[in-house]
A and B are shown apart, each in its own frame.
Chain A
Amino acid sequence: MAKRETPMVDQLESGPWPSFVDDLKRQSDYRHQNPDNINYQIPEDVVDDLLGVLELSYKEKEVHWKHGGIVGVFGYGGGVIGRYCDQPEMFPGVAHFHTMRVNQPNGKYYTTDFLRKICDLWDFRGSGILNMHGSTGDIIFLGTRTEQLEETFYTLTHELDQDLGGSGSNLRTPACCLGESRCEWSCYNTQEACYQLTQEYQDELHRPAFPYKFKFKFDGCPNGCVAAIARADLSVVGTWRDEIQIDQKAVQAYIGGEIPPNGGAHAGRDWGPFDIQKEVLDLCPTNCMWMEDKKLVIDNKECTRCMHCINVMPRALWPGKDKGASVLVGAKAPILDGAQMSTLLVPFISMEEPFDDLKEVIENIWDWWMEEGKNRERLGELMKRQGFQKLLEMTGLRALAQQVEEPRHNPYIFWYQDEVPGGWPVNKGDLQDFRTRHQR
Chain B
Amino acid sequence: MTFVSSGYDPENPLQDRITDIGNHYYGENLPPVIKKNFGQWLWHEILEPGVLMHKAQSGDEVYTVRCGTPRLASAQYVREICDIADKHCDGHVRWTTRNNVEFMVDSKDKVEPLKQDLNSRKNEKGSYKFPVGGTGAGITNIVHTQGWIHCHTPATDASGTVKVVLDELFEEFQNMRLPAQLRISMACCLNMCGAVHCSDIALLGYHRKPPLVDDEWIDSLCELPLAVAACPTGAIKPKKKEITSERSGEQKEVKSVEINWEKCMFCGNCYTMCPSLPLADAEGDGLVIMAGGKVSNRITKPEFSKVVVAFVPNEPPRWPTLAKTVRQIVEAYSQNANKYERLGDWAARIGWERFFEKCGLEFTHHLIDDFRDPAYYTWRQTTNFKFTNEATKDYHQQKYA
Contacts and interface: CB of A to CB of B under 8 A. Distances in A.
B38 A267 contact: no
A104 interface: yes
Interface string B141-185: 001011011111110010110011011001001011100010000
A308 B299 contact: yes
A264 B44 CA distance: 9
B195 A63 contact: no
A170 interface: no
Given A67-B272, A110-B93, A314-B43, A271 B125 contact: no
B135 interface: yes
A58 B156 CA distance: 9
Contacts of A150: 6, 8, 10, 13
A182 B282 contact: no
B137 interface: yes
Contacts of A184: 41-44, 54
11 contacts: A14-B127, A23-B76, A58-B317, A74-B13, A103-B23, A105-B28, A119-B75, A125-B6, A230-B197, A312-B340, A314-B44
Interface stretch (A154-162, A291-299, A389-397): A154-162
Given A23-B74, A133-B99, A181-B38, A109 B26 contact: yes
B359 to A, nearest CB: 20
Interface in A205-244: 205-206, 222-231, 237
B390 interface: no
B298 A306 contact: yes
Contact of A202 (B22, B143, B229): B22
A252 B10 CA distance: 70
A283 interface: yes
B150 A97 contact: yes
A275 B17 CA distance: 63
B97 interface: yes
B163 A20 contact: yes
B69 interface: yes
Contacts of B401: none
Nearest to B72: A20
Contact of A338 (B64, B130, B371): B371
Size category of the A interface is 35 or more
B128 interface: yes
A58 B317 CA distance: 6
A336 B239 CA distance: 24
B220 to A, nearest CB: 14
Contacts of B45: 260, 263-264, 314
Contacts of B49: 268
A57 B13 contact: no
Contact of A206 (B19, B173, B273): B19
B97 A225 contact: yes
Interface-central residue, A11, A152, A195, A333, by most chain B CB under 10 Å? A333
A205 B21 CA distance: 11
Interface in B184-233: 187, 190-195, 197-198, 229, 232-233
B3 interface: yes
Sorted nearest first, the 4 A-B pairs with minimum C-beta distance are A15-B167, A265-B136, A27-B74, A268-B177
B16 A111 contact: no
A408 interface: no
A111 B192 CA distance: 31
A14 B21 contact: no
Contact of B149 (A54, A178, A198, A271): A54
A18 B123 contact: yes
Interface-central residue, B64, B177, B299, B316, by most chain A CB under 10 Å? B316
A44 interface: yes
B10 to A, nearest CB: 7
A363 interface: no
B190 to A, nearest CB: 6
A123 B75 CA distance: 7
Contacts of B271: 67
B269 A63 contact: no
B76 A27 contact: yes
A61 B285 contact: yes
A125 B69 CA distance: 24
Given A41-B1, A335-B192, A18 B97 contact: no
Contacts of B298: 222-223, 306-308, 311
Given A13-B127, A268-B138, A333-B192, 7 more contacts: A17-B70, A26-B74, A67-B271, A119-B82, A182-B62, A202-B21, A262-B136
